[in-house]
């Protein structure tokens, strides 16, 4: 069961190992007939180059790591798929790391990432502290932060692929004002705190521009059950807000179920819009409006940016910061008004 090595191939093909190395690396200096001979032997022996040895020899592992929190994993399958596909196209392997509260802290992950000498990494925003970022910065590992706008210091080795949630929220609220709605609630989502903050900022900015103050931030726990109970409770001594902004599906569904059970109808009494779309939203009755965030693309772009960073020479200018556009999708949980665009 001994794994066969480049030596075995060389001996069998009666050439030196350098030649074998050349053919497996597609060097063009090797004569056609010897190339064929070597290839035949490789095939016959079933030789597979040892990537570990290659990595050591080249100081380059052609693997990049992706690290995200376990909690977010369930919501980011598409983004992950985008990353995986692009990584595969560029022949990068993926070292996958998750962080979880009890078991595996970001610190451990960073330690592992450094030891395994990956060429670069992708980090999900909301998943690291400034301290942790500092460690990473010491090692100057090329990385791209994905999700929301990265608000830390911009080093040359970090890129950012993001949705501008501040702007999204701002635009949404401005739009509501134009429709005469200013009774707005934003449901907290503890899973995405920095995104949450950016949303809050955007909403507040819109309010302030009208000389108003936003006070519709509803803070509670982060599961469906607790959201549902919270909102059921809330409705006992509040009327529902006219527009309710939820971040994820389960919050939106919690509002929907609780409101209906309190005799309210949607969208007449209250409207609901979710930020992150999801296949479950159109399964609800009524269907729930959301934003179309091209998650797969976002992952794909993030990985592509990273691969570009990895091959870039010093001095190459490349766009490491890319904003992803999110478009509203109107469904049954919001009322459609005439679009107020002036230009055709």
Asked whether position 50 contacts DNA by CB under 7 A, the answer is yes
Asked whether position 101 contacts a second copy by CB under 8 A, the answer is no
In this chain, which of 29, 32, 33, 74 binds a second copy, going by CB under 8 A?
74
In this chain, which of 11, 39, 45, 49 binds DNA, going by CB under 7 A?
49
Q: Which is nearer to DNA, 118 or 259 (CB)?
A: 118
Q: Which is nearer to DNA, 21 or 99 (CB)?
A: 21
Give min distance, CB of 245 to a second copy, in A.
19
Asked whether position 91 contacts DNA by CB under 7 A, the answer is no
Asked whether position 134 contacts a second copy by CB under 8 A, the answer is no
Give min distance, CB of 23 to DNA, in A.
8
Could you give the CA distance from residue 200 to residue 214 in angstroms, rounded to a whole number? 9
Stretch binding DNA (CB under 7 A), from 55-63, 178-186, 218-226, 233-241: 55-63
Query: Considering CB distances under 5 to 8 angstroms, the limit depending on partner class, which of DNA, a second copy, none binds residue 310?
Result: none
Q: Which is nearer to a second copy, 98 or 194 (CB)?
A: 98
Stretch binding a second copy (CB under 8 A), from 34-42, 47-55, 122-130, 304-312: 47-55
Asked whether position 46 contacts a second copy by CB under 8 A, the answer is yes
In this chain, which of 28, 31, 115, 340 binds a second copy, going by CB under 8 A?
115
Q: Going residue by residue from 249 to 288, which x/- string records binding to a second copy, judged by CB under 8 A?
A: xx--xx--x---------------------xx-xx-x---
């Amino acid at each position: 069961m001994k794994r066969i090595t480049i030596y075995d191939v060389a001996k069998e093909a009666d050439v030196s190992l350098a030649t074998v190395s050349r053919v497996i690396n597609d060097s063009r200096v090797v004569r056609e007939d010897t190339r064929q001979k070597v290839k035949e032997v490789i095939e016959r022996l079933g030789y597979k180059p040892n990537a570990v040895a290659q990595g050591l020899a080249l100081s380059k592992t052609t693997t990049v790591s992706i690290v995200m929190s376990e909690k977010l994993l369930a919501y980011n399958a598409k983004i992950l798929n985008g990353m995986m596909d692009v990584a595969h196209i560029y022949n990068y392997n993926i070292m996958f790391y998750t962080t979880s509260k009890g078991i595996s802290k970001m610190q451990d992950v960073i330690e592992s990432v450094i030891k395994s000498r990956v060429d670069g990494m992708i980090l999900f925003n909301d998943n690291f502290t400034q301290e942790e970022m500092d460690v990473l910065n010491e090692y100057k590992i090329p990385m791209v932060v994905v999700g929301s706008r990265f608000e830390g210091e911009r080093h040359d080795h970090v890129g950012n692929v993001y949705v501008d949630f501040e702007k999204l929220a701002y635009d949404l609220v401005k739009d509501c004002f134009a429709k005469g709605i200013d009774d707005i609630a934003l449901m907290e989502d503890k899973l995405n705190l920095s995104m949450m903050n950016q949303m809050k900022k955007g909403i507040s900015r819109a309010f302030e521009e009208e000389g108003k103050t936003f006070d519709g931030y509803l803070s509670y726990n982060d599961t469906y059950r607790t959201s549902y109970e919270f909102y059921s409770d809330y409705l006992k001594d509040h009327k529902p807000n006219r527009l309710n902004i939820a971040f994820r599906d389960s919050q939106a569904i919690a509002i929907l179920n609780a409101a209906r059970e309190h005799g309210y109808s949607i969208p007449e009494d209250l409207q609901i819009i979710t930020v992150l779309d999801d296949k479950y939203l159109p399964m609800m009755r009524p269907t729930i409006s959301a934003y179309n965030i091209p998650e797969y693309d976002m992952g794909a772009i993030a990985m592509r940016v990273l691969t570009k960073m990895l091959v870039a020479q010093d001095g190459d200018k490349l766009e490491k910061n890319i904003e992803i556009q999110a478009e509203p999708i109107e469904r049954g949980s919001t009322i459609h008004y005439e679009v107020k665009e002036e230009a055709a």
